[in-house]
C-alpha cells in the first residue's frame, strides 16, 4: 500500500465526524459559508485537498491550488509546502508522475529554506511512495532511505513534539518494507515490519497497525506459512473496520483472496476478492477497485467462466479509463497552474530588482572586506609555505636520525659479532693444542702397542700370552675411540674457527643468478665425487629481471653451498629410507622482490626430503645444534649462514612440512 504522510495541522475549529463522506460534506459546507479569504478558509481548502487525493484527485488538485494561492498571499511558507504536498499526492494518484515529482521537489526546496526538517523528510517519503505506486522500486528505496536519514538526524537533536512526528519513523519502515516485499526480499521486508510492529504496539499507533499486519501476512504467504498469514489478515480486518480505513480493508481482503487462491480454495478466493471490490467501490478508491477487478477477472478466466470474466474485465476497463484517461483535465489544470506560477515568478523578479538597488549600495563596503580577505589569504598562504618548508626539514632530520640509528645498530651488532668471534677463536686455539696432543699420542700409543705385540709379547708363555692378548685388544679399542672422538672434536674446533674468522672476501655488485648456478654445480658434483651412488633431480628457476646486488660474494656463496649440502643430504637420507617410489629432487630459484618492503632478491633452496620436525624448528640456527648422526655434522652451518645473511641486512626464512619438504629462502636487499 502506498503510505503518504500528509502532516495535518490542528484546525481552528473542531470537525469531529465519523465517516469520510460526512467529513467532506461538512468541509464543503464550511467552505461555502466562509466568504473571507482568511486562514480558516485556507485550512478548509487544505483539508479538502487531503481528503480528495485518492477518491477524486482532480478535485484534490483544485482545492490544493486554491490553498497554495492563499498561503502565498498571506506569506505562510509552511502552508505553501503543505498545499503543494497534497497536490503532489493527487498527481501521484492520477499517475502524472512528472508533475508529482516536480511538485515534491519544490516542497523540499521550500521546507529547506525554512529549515523544516520534518517537512523535508515527509516529502522524501512521499516521493518514495509515488515510485512504489509506479512500481519503480529501484528509485523508491533511495528516496525513502534519504528521508529516513534526515529524520533520524532530526530526532537525534530534537524532542518529538507530536503523535504524528513519533509515528513518522514507523511509516518510513512500512514503505521500505513494502519495497523489499514487492522485490521478493522477504527477510529484509520482515525485519523492517517487525521493528515498526513493535514500535506501533508500544506507542499505540493504531491507525497503521492494520497496514503492518496485512504486510506481515504477505511475508508469511511468501514463506509458505498459510496459518500465520491467515492469522495476520484476521487481525488486520477488524482493525481496518475500527479505524474506518476502507482502503486497507479492501487491500487486506484482496491479500486474503490471493492466499486462498494459492492453496486452490477457489470459492473462498472469489468471496474475499468480491468483498475487496465492494469495499473499494463503496469509498471510491479507484486504484483498489482496479486491483480487485483484475484479480477477479484472472480467477474467472482460469476457471473458463467467460461471462463472469467478461463482467470484471468491463469493470477493470471502466475503472482504468476513469483513473488514467483524464488527460485533458490534467492538461488544463497544469496549464492554469503553470500560468499562475509564471506570473508569480515575474512578480518575484520585480521584487528582486528593487532589492538589487539596495544591494549596490553595499558593494563599496564589500570591496573593503574583500581586500582585507585577500590580505589575510595571502598571509595564510605564506604561513602555509613556511610550514611546508619546516615540515620538509623536519622529515629530512627524522630520516637522517633513522639512518643514524640503523647505522648505530649495525655497528653495535658488528662489535658484538667481532667480540664473539675473538672469544670463539681464542677458545678454539686453546682447545686445539691439548687436542693435538690427544690425537698425536693416541696414534703413537697405537704404534707402540703394535711394536710391543710384534716383539716382547711373542716371548711370553702361552697362558700369559692369552691374558695379554685380551688386554691388548681392550687397549687398542680404547685408543681407536680416543682417536675417533679426538678427530670429531678437531672438526668442531675447525668449524668454530671458520665461524669466527673474518671474511676474506670483498663487497661488490654481483649477478645473483650466476653465483647461485655456480654453487649448485659445485655442491652437486662435489657430493657425487664423494658418493657415486648419490643422484637427485636438480631444477633451477632464475628470474632474469633480478638486479645485481652489492654483497660479499664469498660469504653468500658459503651460505648457498651450505643450504645445498643440507638439501642433498636430506633427500639422500630419505632415499635410503624409501628406496622404492621416491625420486630425490632439489629446486633452486631466484626472484626479484618488489613488495611492500625494500627491493631486493630472494634465493630459495627447496628439497622434497623428510622436512624438519616442528618441535626443533626454533633451534636450527643455534650453534652446535644438528640433527645429523654423530660425526657427520658440527651444527655450525646454519648458525654461520644466519649470521652472514643478517650481516647483509637480509633475512633467512624457512618453510617446512614434516615428511614432505623443506624450503630455505635468503632475502637480500639491493642496498
Give the other-Cβ count within 10 Å of 310's Cβ.
12
Over residues 370-377, the mean pLDDT reads: 84
Q: How distant, in Å, are the alpha carbons of 174, 184, 194 from that of 188? A: 12, 9, 10
Over residues 13-38, the mean pLDDT reads: 50
pLDDT at 20 over 50: no
Over residues 29-41, the mean pLDDT reads: 63
Q: What is the CA radius of gyration of the chain?
A: 48
The pLDDT value given to residue 342:
47
553-572 confidence digits (pLDDT tens): 888 888 898 888 888 888 88
Q: Which span out of 28-32, 277-281, 479-483 was modeled with the highest average pLDDT?
A: 277-281
Same topology, domains 27-158 and 245-324? Answer is yes
pLDDT at 357 over 90: no
CB 643 within 8 A of CB 416: no
pLDDT at 9 over 50: no
Over residues 393-422, the mean pLDDT reads: 70
Element (H, E) at 153: helix 137-157
Cα angle 594, 596, 602 (rounded to 5 degrees) comes to: 45
The pLDDT value given to residue 339:
41
Over residues 651-658, the mean pLDDT reads: 88
Confidence of residue 193 (pLDDT cuts 50, 70, 90): very high
Confidence of residue 12 (pLDDT cuts 50, 70, 90): very low
Q: Average pLDDT, whole number, for the chain?
A: 79
The pLDDT value given to residue 49:
79
Termini Cα distance of the chain: 71
Higher pLDDT, 396 or 244: 396
Contacts of residue 380, defined as CB under 8 A and 6 or more positions apart, other chains included, come to: none
Confidence of residue 113 (pLDDT cuts 50, 70, 90): very high
pLDDT at 30 over 70: no
Q: What is the DSSP string of 635-671?
A: S-HHHHHHHHHHHTT-EEEEEEETTTEEEEEEEEE--
Q: Which span out of 22-31, 221-230, 483-492, 652-661 was modeled with the highest average pLDDT?
A: 221-230
Q: What is the DSSP string of 308-352?
A: HHHHHHHHHHHHHHHHH--HHHHHHHHHHHHHHHHHHHHHHHHHH
Contacts of residue 594, defined as CB under 8 A and 6 or more positions apart, other chains included, come to: none
474-492 confidence digits (pLDDT tens): 787 787 778 777 766 666 6
pLDDT at 603 over 50: yes
Q: How distant, in Å, are the alpha carbons of 56, 307, 308, 322, 374 from that of 294? A: 21, 15, 12, 15, 70
The pLDDT value given to residue 130:
84
Architecture of domain 245-324: Alpha Horseshoe (1.25)
Architecture of domain 27-158: Alpha Horseshoe (1.25)
**Euclidean distance between CA atoms 136 and 124, whole angstroms:** 15
Share of the chain above pLDDT 70, in %: 78
- Measure CA 500 to chain center: 53
Confidence of residue 283 (pLDDT cuts 50, 70, 90): low
Over residues 336-350, the mean pLDDT reads: 57
Q: Which residues pair with 664 in a beta bridge?
A: 605, 654
pLDDT at 414 over 60: no
418-470 confidence digits (pLDDT tens): 565 566 666 666 676 676 767 777 777 777 777 777 777 677 777 777 777 77
**Euclidean distance between CA atoms 662 and 406, whole angstroms:** 32
Over residues 246-269, the mean pLDDT reads: 90
Over residues 568-580, the mean pLDDT reads: 84
Estimate the crossing angle of helix 97-113 against helix 117-133, to 10 degrees: 170
**Euclidean distance between CA atoms 248 and 233, whole angstroms:** 11
Helices (H) and strands (E) in the chain, counts: 21, 7
CB 40 within 8 A of CB 12: yes
The pLDDT value given to residue 633:
56
Over residues 525-543, the mean pLDDT reads: 84
Over residues 361-390, the mean pLDDT reads: 84
Q: Where are the domains of the chain?
A: 27-158, 179-244, 245-324, 386-500, 507-669
The pLDDT value given to residue 221:
93
The pLDDT value given to residue 589:
93
Over residues 117-123, the mean pLDDT reads: 90
Element (H, E) at 538: strand 537-541
**In the block, residue with C-alpha cell 627491493:** 599
**Euclidean distance between CA atoms 148 and 2, whole angstroms:** 16
pLDDT at 163 over 80: no
Task: Specify the fold of 507-669.
Answer: Heat Shock Protein 90 (3.30.565)
Amino acid at each position: 500500500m502506498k503510505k503518504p504522510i500528509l502532516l495535518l495541522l490542528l484546525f481552528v475549529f473542531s470537525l469531529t465526524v465519523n465517516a469520510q463522506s460526512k467529513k467532506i460534506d461538512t468541509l464543503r459546507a464550511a467552505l461555502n459559508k466562509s466568504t473571507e479569504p482568511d486562514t480558516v478558509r485556507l485550512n478548509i481548502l487544505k483539508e479538502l485537498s487531503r481528503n480528495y487525493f485518492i477518491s477524486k484527485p482532480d478535485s484534490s488538485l483544485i482545492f490544493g491550488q486554491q490553498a497554495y494561492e492563499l498561503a502565498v498571499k498571506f506569506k505562510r511558507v509552511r502552508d505553501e509546502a503543505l498545499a503543494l504536498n497534497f497536490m503532489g499526492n493527487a498527481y501521484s494518484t492520477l499517475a502524472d508522475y512528472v508533475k508529482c515529482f516536480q511538485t515534491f521537489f519544490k516542497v523540499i526546496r521550500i521546507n529547506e529554506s525554512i529549515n523544516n526538517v520534518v517537512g523535508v523528510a515527509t516529502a522524501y517519503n512521499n516521493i518514495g511512495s509515488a515510485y512504489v505506486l509506479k512500481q519503480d522500486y529501484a528509485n523508491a528505496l533511495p528516496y525513502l532511505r534519504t528521508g529516513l536519514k534526515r529524520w533520524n538526524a532530526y530526532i537525534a537533536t530534537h524532542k518529538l513534539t507530536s503523535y504524528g512526528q513519533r509515528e513518522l519513523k514507523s511509516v518510513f519502515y512500512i514503505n521500505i518494507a513494502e519495497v523489499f516485499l514487492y522485490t521478493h526480499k522477504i527477510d529484509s521486508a520482515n525485519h523492517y515490519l517487525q521493528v515498526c510492529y513493535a514500535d506501533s504496539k508500544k506507542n499505540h499507533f493504531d491507525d497503521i497497525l492494520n497496514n503492518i499486519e496485512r504486510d506481515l501476512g504477505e511475508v508469511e504467504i511468501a514463506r509458505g506459512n498459510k496459518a500465520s498469514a491467515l492469522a495476520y489478515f484476521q487481525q488486520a480486518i477488524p482493525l481496518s473496520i475500527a479505524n474506518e480505513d476502507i482502503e486497507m480493508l479492501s487491500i487486506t481482503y484482496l491479500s486474503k483472496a490471493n492466499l486462498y487462491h494459492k492453496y486452490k480454495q477457489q470459492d473462498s478466493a472469489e468471496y474475499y476478492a468480491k468483498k475487496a471490490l465492494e469495499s473499494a467501490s463503496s469509498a471510491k478508491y479507484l486504484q483498489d477497485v482496479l486491483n480487485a477487478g483484475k484479480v477477479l477477472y484472472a480467477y474467472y478466466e482460469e476457471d473458463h467462466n467467460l461471462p463472469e470474466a467478461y463482467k470484471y474485465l468491463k469493470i477493470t476497463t471502466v475503472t482504468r479509463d476513469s483513473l488514467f484517461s483524464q488527460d485533458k483535465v490534467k492538461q488544463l489544470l497544469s496549464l492554469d497552474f503553470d500560468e499562475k506560477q509564471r506570473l508569480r515568478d515575474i512578480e518575484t523578479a520585480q521584487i528582486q530588482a528593487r532589492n538589487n538597488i539596495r544591494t549596490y549600495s553595499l558593494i563599496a563596503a564589500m570591496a573593503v572586506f574583500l581586500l582585507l580577505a585577500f590580505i589575510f589569504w595571502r598571509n595564510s598562504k605564506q604561513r602555509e609555505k613556511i610550514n611546508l618548508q619546516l615540515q620538509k626539514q623536519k622529515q629530512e632530520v627524522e630520516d637522517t636520525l633513522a639512518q643514524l640509528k640503523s647505522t648505530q645498530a649495525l655497528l653495535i651488532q658488528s662489535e658484538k659479532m667481532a667480540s664473539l668471534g675473538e672469544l670463539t677463536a681464542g677458545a678454539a686455539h686453546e682447545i686445539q693444542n691439548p687436542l693435538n696432543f690427544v690425537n698425536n699420542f693416541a696414534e703413537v700409543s697405537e704404534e707402540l702397542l703394535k711394536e710391543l705385540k710384534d716383539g716382547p709379547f711373542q716371548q711370553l708363555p702361552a697362558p700369559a700370552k692369552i691374558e695379554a692378548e685380551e688386554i691388548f685388544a681392550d687397549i687398542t679399542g680404547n685408543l681407536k675411540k680416543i682417536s675417533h672422538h679426538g678427530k670429531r672434536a678437531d672438526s668442531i674446533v675447525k668449524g668454530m674457527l671458520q665461524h669466527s674468522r673474518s671474511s676474506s672476501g670483498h663487497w661488490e655488485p654481483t649477478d645473483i643468478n650466476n653465483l647461485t648456478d655456480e654453487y649448485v654445480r659445485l655442491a652437486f658434483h662435489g657430493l657425487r665425487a664423494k658418493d657415486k651412488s648419490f643422484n637427485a633431480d636438480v631444477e633451477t628457476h632464475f628470474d632474469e629481471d633480478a638486479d645485481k646486488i652489492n654483497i660479499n660474494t664469498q660469504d653468500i656463496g658459503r651460505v648457498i653451498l651450505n643450504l645445498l649440502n643440507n638439501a642433498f643430504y636430506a633427500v639422500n637420507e630419505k632415499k635410503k629410507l624409501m628406496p622404492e617410489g621416491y625420486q630425490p629432487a632439489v629446486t633452486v630459484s631466484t626472484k626479484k622482490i618488489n613488495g611492500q618492503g625494500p627491493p631486493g632478491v630472494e634465493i630459495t633452496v627447496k628439497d622434497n626430503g623428510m622436512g624438519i620436525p616442528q618441535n626443533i624448528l626454533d633451534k636450527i640456527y643455534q650453534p652446535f645444534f644438528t640433527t645429523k648422526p654423530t660425526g657427520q655434522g658440527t651444527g655450525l652451518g646454519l648458525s654461520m649462514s644466519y649470521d652472514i645473511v643478517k650481516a647483509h641486512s637480509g633475512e633467512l626464512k624457512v618453510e617446512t612440512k614434516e615428511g614432505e619438504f623443506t624450503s630455505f629462502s635468503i632475502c637480500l636487499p639491493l642496498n
